[in-house]
């Protein structure tokens, strides 16, 4: 009886790894795609508290890989995407990435959305010299982990500046409160960058309150905020808690706008009884809007809708761009060897992604524009684009 190919492959790999260990060798870093395909690793939060992020980003990546393969792949080979789910759990990303590198010999790692989880994987990619491309982690520390770590999105000092200016100009806020998730590097960073800019521009932060990941009751923090009568409340957090925070704010009679960053962006933000009404007139910044007026974006929106039956959001678009950038770098390098890809990725210039043209700066971050989305009539409505 013959084994199915996937099982056979696992068995073979298992034997190979066991042989290496027996020989006293540490499994080496990623492979060069020496077979007929180029193995690409992805780690994502496909289940758990941030699953909406992981699934959207994963869908974008899958679409890109499919299109690339349909167009003949690269260097005469097809891409093979191998995805590991970290279940939105701390500690799982490092294990997932180790597996992808040692067992699957991937040439590069795509992931993650949440900065905290990209930060977990980065030291491993750095140690094994396998390039990591984060689609949408915006905390500056992610790429500071080493020269093998890249991203296709902007960073939070920029996002914080965008929202500080928006608060002062469009919301006409002079006094703001900030409510931060102290367990998430993304939240702490974005909160700090926002504050620095808002204060430097003459605004006042009248209250600073904190919570942690598993909190469900924010009434104490919101009551303290209410007593300071801010003109608006900045909540740099992830969508699951944002909905609860905004609804509880309304219950406490807080009527001012709440606003945040890309962590707000998931259809789940507006789901549940009363959520959309509570969020009316709130705003957040992000990387992409399907209503953006660029031919490249329109083509992508069409293909994504045809495949998944829903409009792509920023995570989907960035997941797509991360795979396209990798393919482009392999083509430019004429090789899929991880160590040859590194300098070529670092030299990325004017790469044409669906989220805009990107050039990676000396910190391996993309310098790109942000979009601001408002919640109007229970929908996400594109409001404006802000250039760096």
Task: Enumerate binding residues for ligand PHE (CB under 6 A).
Answer: 53, 113-115, 136-139, 186, 262-263, 265, 286, 314-315
Longest dimension (CA), the chain: 75
Which residue, 79 or 320, has its beta carbon nearer to ligand PHE?
Answer: 320
Which residue, 104 or 265, has its beta carbon nearer to ligand PHE?
Answer: 265
State how far the Cα of 340 lies from the Cα of 33, in Å rounded to an integer.
13
Q: In the bound complex, what is the minimum distance in angstroms from residue 106's beta carbon to ligand PHE?
A: 22
Q: How many CB atoms lie within 10 A of CB 32?
A: 16
What tokens appear for 278 in the block?
Answer: 């509570």
Which residue, 114 or 122, has its beta carbon nearer to ligand PHE?
Answer: 114
Which residue, 120 or 262, has its beta carbon nearer to ligand PHE?
Answer: 262
Which residue, 79 or 288, has its beta carbon nearer to ligand PHE?
Answer: 288
Q: In the bound complex, what is the minimum distance in angstroms from residue 138's beta carbon to ligand PHE?
A: 4
Which residue, 230 or 319, has its beta carbon nearer to ligand PHE?
Answer: 319
Q: How many CB atoms lie within 10 A of CB 229?
A: 12
Q: In the bound complex, what is the minimum distance in angstroms from residue 221's beta carbon to ligand PHE?
A: 21
Which residue, 138 or 243, has its beta carbon nearer to ligand PHE?
Answer: 138
What tokens appear for 228 in the block?
Answer: 């300071």
Q: In the bound complex, what is the minimum distance in angstroms from residue 47's beta carbon to ligand PHE?
A: 17
Which residue, 137 or 289, has its beta carbon nearer to ligand PHE?
Answer: 137
State how far the Cα of 85 lies from the Cα of 47, in Å rounded to an integer.
7
State how far the Cα of 112 lies from the Cα of 93, in Å rounded to an integer.
9
- The answer to whether the CB of 129 falls within 8 A of the CB of 338 is yes
Q: In the bound complex, what is the minimum distance in angstroms from residue 168's beta carbon to ligand PHE?
A: 22
Q: In the bound complex, what is the minimum distance in angstroms from residue 26's beta carbon to ligand PHE?
A: 31
- Return the residue matching tokens 């939105």: 88
Q: In the bound complex, what is the minimum distance in angstroms from residue 181's beta carbon to ligand PHE?
A: 10
Q: In the bound complex, what is the minimum distance in angstroms from residue 226's beta carbon to ligand PHE?
A: 27
- The answer to whether the CB of 83 falls within 8 A of the CB of 55 is no
Provide the CB-side half-sphere exposure for 106 (13 A, CA).
25
Buried b / exposed e over 53-80, threshold 16 CB at 10 Å, is bbbbbbbbbbbbbebbbeeebbeebebb
Q: How far is CA 51 from CA 58, 85, 113, 323, 383, in A?
A: 10, 10, 10, 20, 26
Q: In the bound complex, what is the minimum distance in angstroms from residue 139's beta carbon to ligand PHE?
A: 5
Which residue, 56 or 275, has its beta carbon nearer to ligand PHE?
Answer: 56
Q: What are phi and psi of 61, to 5 degrees?
A: -65, -45
Alpha-carbon torsion (254, 256, 257, 260), positive or negative: negative
């Amino acid at each position: 009886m013959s084994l199915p190919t996937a099982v056979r492959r696992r068995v073979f790999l298992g034997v190979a790894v066991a042989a290496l260990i027996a020989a006293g060798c540490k499994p080496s870093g990623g492979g060069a795609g020496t077979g007929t395909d180029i193995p690409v690793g992805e780690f994502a939060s496909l289940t758990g508290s941030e699953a909406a992020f992981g699934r959207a980003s994963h869908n974008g990546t899958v679409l890109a890989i499919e299109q690339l393969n349909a167009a003949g792949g690269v260097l005469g080979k097809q891409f093979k995407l191998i995805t590991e789910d970290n279940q939105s759990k701390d500690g799982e990303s490092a294990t997932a990435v180790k597996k992808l590198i040692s067992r699957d010999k991937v040439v590069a790692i795509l992931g993650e959305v949440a900065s905290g989880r990209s930060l977990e994987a980065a030291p491993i990619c750095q140690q094994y010299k396998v390039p990591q491309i984060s689609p949408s982690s915006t905390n500056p520390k992610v790429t500071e982990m080493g020269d093998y770590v890249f991203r296709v999105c902007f960073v939070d000092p920029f996002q914080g500046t965008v929202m500080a200016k928006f608060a002062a100009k469009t919301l006409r806020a002079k006094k703001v409160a900030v409510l931060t998730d102290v367990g998430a590097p993304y939240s702490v960073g974005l909160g700090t960058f926002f504050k620095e800019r808002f204060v430097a521009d003459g605004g006042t932060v009248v209250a600073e309150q904190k919570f942690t990941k598993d909190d469900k009751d924010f009434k104490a923090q919101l009551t303290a905020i209410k007593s300071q009568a801010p003109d608006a409340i900045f909540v740099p957090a992830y969508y699951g808690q944002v909905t609860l925070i905004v609804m509880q704010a309304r219950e406490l009679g807080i009527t001012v706008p709440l606003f945040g960053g890309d962590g707000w962006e998931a259809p789940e933000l507006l789901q549940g009884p009363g959520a959309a009404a509570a969020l009316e007139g709130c705003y957040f910044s992000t990387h992409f809007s399907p209503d953006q007026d660029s031919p490249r974006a329109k083509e992508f929106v069409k293909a994504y809708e045809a495949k998944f039956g829903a409009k792509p959001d920023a995570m989907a678009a960035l997941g797509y761009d991360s795979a396209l950038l990798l393919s482009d770098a392999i083509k430019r390098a004429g090789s899929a060897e991880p160590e040859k890809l590194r300098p070529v990725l670092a030299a990325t210039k004017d790469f044409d992604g669906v989220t805009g043209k990107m050039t990676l700066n000396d910190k391996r971050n993309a310098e790109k524009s942000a979009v601001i989305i408002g919640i109007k009539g229970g929908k996400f409505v594109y409001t404006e684009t802000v250039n760096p």
